[in-house]
Amino acid sequence: MMYVFICPKCGHSTMVSLYRSLNCRVCGADMANCEIDFLDWVELSPKERARLIRIYQKADPKDLCFYRPMPYYDHKERNYW
């Protein structure tokens, strides 16, 4: 299982499989785990990705998950919905 992380500060994005939290390689900020399934992510056009990243950049940090992947089925672990 791969997870998509997005940096809400500079918009850098990456895919990882093991990390539960991640610092941005570009600017060092905490990266947010993205809700999107990585299979959907890889199918997005660059434009769609940019749009998604903008959503993360505009989001309130308290609505983002910085600490661990949140698979869509992992409802109990979610505390921000």
Span interacting with Zn ion, options 16-24, 34-42, 44-52, 68-76, rule CB under 5 A? 16-24
CA atoms in the 13 A half-sphere facing the CB of 58: 6
Site for Zn ion in 34-63 (CB under 5 A): none
Which span sits near Zn ion by CB under 5 A: 28-36, 51-59, 60-68, 72-80? 28-36
Which conformational region is residue 28 in: left (phi greater than 0), alpha (psi within -120 to 50 degrees), or beta? left
Q: Which residues contact 77 (CB under 8 A, 6 or more apart)?
A: 68, 70
Nearer of residues 25 and 78 to Zn ion, judged by Cβ:
25
* Binding residues vs Zn ion (CB under 5 A): 7, 9-10, 12, 24, 26-27, 29
